[in-house]
Structure 1
């Protein structure tokens, strides 16, 4: 029996959709939403009908019959902390995302869109590996400042998928292995997987800088800068996320542009880019201590993992810890579909969402 799974991933100005038949990708499409359209809505949740209608119209135009679907899966939104894996979308989840999400985020639209489509198709709707997956050990939650406990925010969907894929590649079970995974994209986060759970992380504001984010910066100087009178709160937030990292040093967000600069002999570009690799390697080393160095594989993933120069710099510093696997790309649509495929095949169980 084959399974047809529709995956939906809402982003800030687009909605990605993909259809899979078992492991085979039938299509992937990015449905763009012009910024002037997005700006008509006061809240992300207000975009629900617009985005749902665009997805359904696209499927109708292409002649895809939703009645042939086995399941629909969406990107998990900003729920209160949840476990990894699949959750079946229910009314409690929808109410939470609508009325009390942890924060405004386009991913909050994933569950309501797939729920409506699944209802028409007569199948179940799921989310998988929510953005808010949190399986941290208690010891990992202590930050040093009781006012600010550590929580888990990392690129769970892609990092967990590539860890499962790497385990399968070597004929082993994800639940029997330990991984340190670094997601290298516009934002960079790292996590450590111990026997099937993400037990600690280095979030995008705790570790390496990235193309647009400042990462971990000296706290005392940051406080001084906040109270210097030179910048307002919004500007300081932008310095950390949006205008930080490589952009702040080299005025570009594109790692490919940085590599062209390096090829043309730009020493500053080389130093900044290598510093990013250096910090990523430090983060990997930091997380290896969580499992007392018992790491089966280090995995480099995300868009920047396509870069030979970046991955070679990181690999040189960390391969003494464990073998390094490079699995480039975001892999989000595949990750969503494959997760639910495992549920449909009885290899995983979907959880019931309760507050």
Structure 2
């Protein structure tokens, strides 16, 4: 039996889980108040604080760090790399320490896992970080040579549910063609072809359908006019399209539950906007089906919005039923996805990847 410690840092919390093989035997969210985090200017400055909180929790729960076969952290903002399970190395630590690709709480995942693994005498890993990039050369072309389409999406959850869906239809992930739709605060729609996400919208930068709080792809000329109107700062515009867009912009809330409640109360505007979000998601699913030449084994709906069978799931099925069977896996169990990625390595089902080798190889490929 393999015992795996999972560390998933968020902006104001650190999720901890302990797995014995596939079974989660302990789960806890360590909350960090604004006052506790206030002294730290940069996210990496929180490292010792979060490490102490993790060790204290493990001790109180009766675990020693030496009990674990492996430790896995949430992957942060790294250079683009293919999907898979990566052994944490010094190159990765250096880039995350100095936030060379951007600052985010998830950057702490690999660093915390590495330090604790050293103390435990075992290895540290990350699995399918948001920077996973397996796009084809065709998909990377934007329409202008000064712009390159980037792959930033919910890779961890997408890859995990894609493996689950492939198993359900009697195939290995590397044999299946799937469209995976993660629907949360951000929405990403990926074309999974034989184990690789060959095309996907950039969910971080606003590409794709609008979401509970993001505007998605907007009419380009209108956006340019707004930017050069002289009325608004860059920061104001960025906040409008990522944070104050989508449901927030139209309805004043990012809560899908609140919108569903309004629809139940016959709010026609709420229904129109919410249905429009489903309509846009469906159109992007259709785009991915076209990119796959219609060879789609299944469409997978996941993320928080997939819990809404009454409206969102129902409407989506009405639009996309003709493409392929629809499988629904609500939520996004990141801790289990991380544990399963490491478990595949521990069992010898796949080899761990080396970060600097894969990042350098990607750089060579995309610079051709």
- Shorter-chain TM band: over 0.9
| Contact in 1 for aligned 2:182/2:301 (Cα 8 Å) | yes
Mapping of residues 157-306 of structure 1, within 5 Å: 157-204=156-203, 205-306=206-307
User: Of residues 308, 314, 317 in structure 1, which corresponds to 2:316?
Assistant: 314
Q: Give per-residue Cα distances to partners, 1:307-336, cap 9 Å, x unaligned.
A: 011011011101100000000001111100
| Whole-Å separation in 2 of the counterparts to 1:296 and 1:352 | 31
Q: Give per-residue Cα distances to partners, 1:207-265, cap 9 Å, x unaligned.
A: 11111111111111011111112221111111111111001111111100100000001
Mapping of residues 76-115 of structure 1, within 5 Å: 76-115=75-114
Aligned length: 354
2:365 corresponds to: none
2:366 corresponds to: none
- Which stretch of structure 1 is more off in the superposition, 321-330 or 223-232? 223-232
| Whole-Å separation in 2 of the counterparts to 1:203 and 1:100 | 20
User: Of residues 347, 350, 359 in structure 2, which corresponds to 1:348?
Assistant: 350
Tell me how far 1:188 sits from its aligned partner.
Answer: 0.7
Tell me how far 1:65 sits from its aligned partner.
Answer: 2.0
1:43 corresponds to: 42
2:364 corresponds to: none
| Whole-Å separation in 2 of the counterparts to 1:125 and 1:103 | 22
Q: Equivalent residue of 1:97, what SS?
A: helix
Q: Give per-residue Cα distances to partners, 1:176-198, cap 9 Å, x unaligned.
A: 01111110001111111000001
| Whole-Å separation in 2 of the counterparts to 1:127 and 1:182 | 22
| Contact in 2 for aligned 1:306/1:329 (Cα 8 Å) | yes
What is the TM-score of this pair, normalised by structure 2? Answer: 0.94
Provide the alpha-carbon RMSD of the alignment.
1.0
Tell me how far 1:100 sits from its aligned partner.
Answer: 4.8
Mapping of residues 146-157 of structure 1, within 5 Å: 146-157=145-156
Tell me how far 1:160 sits from its aligned partner.
Answer: 0.6
Tell me how far 1:167 sits from its aligned partner.
Answer: 1.2
| Contact in 1 for aligned 2:77/2:99 (Cα 8 Å) | no
| Whole-Å separation in 2 of the counterparts to 1:122 and 1:116 | 10
Query: Are 2:21 and 1:22 equivalent residues in the alignment?
Result: yes
| Whole-Å separation in 1 of the counterparts to 2:246 and 2:63 | 43
1:335 corresponds to: 337
Q: Equivalent residue of 1:5, what SS?
A: strand
1:324 corresponds to: 326
Name segments (4+ residues, structure 1) moved above 4 Å.
none
Q: Equivalent residue of 1:282, what SS?
A: helix
| Whole-Å separation in 1 of the counterparts to 2:211 and 2:7 | 26
1:126 corresponds to: 125
| Whole-Å separation in 1 of the counterparts to 2:38 and 2:223 | 32
Structure 2 portions without partners, runs of 5+: 361-368
| Contact in 2 for aligned 1:188/1:203 (Cα 8 Å) | no
Q: Equivalent residue of 1:325, what SS?
A: strand
Q: Equivalent residue of 2:106, what SS?
A: helix
| Whole-Å separation in 2 of the counterparts to 1:138 and 1:100 | 27
| Whole-Å separation in 1 of the counterparts to 2:28 and 2:221 | 45
Tell me how far 1:101 sits from its aligned partner.
Answer: 2.5
| Whole-Å separation in 1 of the counterparts to 2:38 and 2:189 | 33
Structure 1 portions without partners, runs of 5+: none
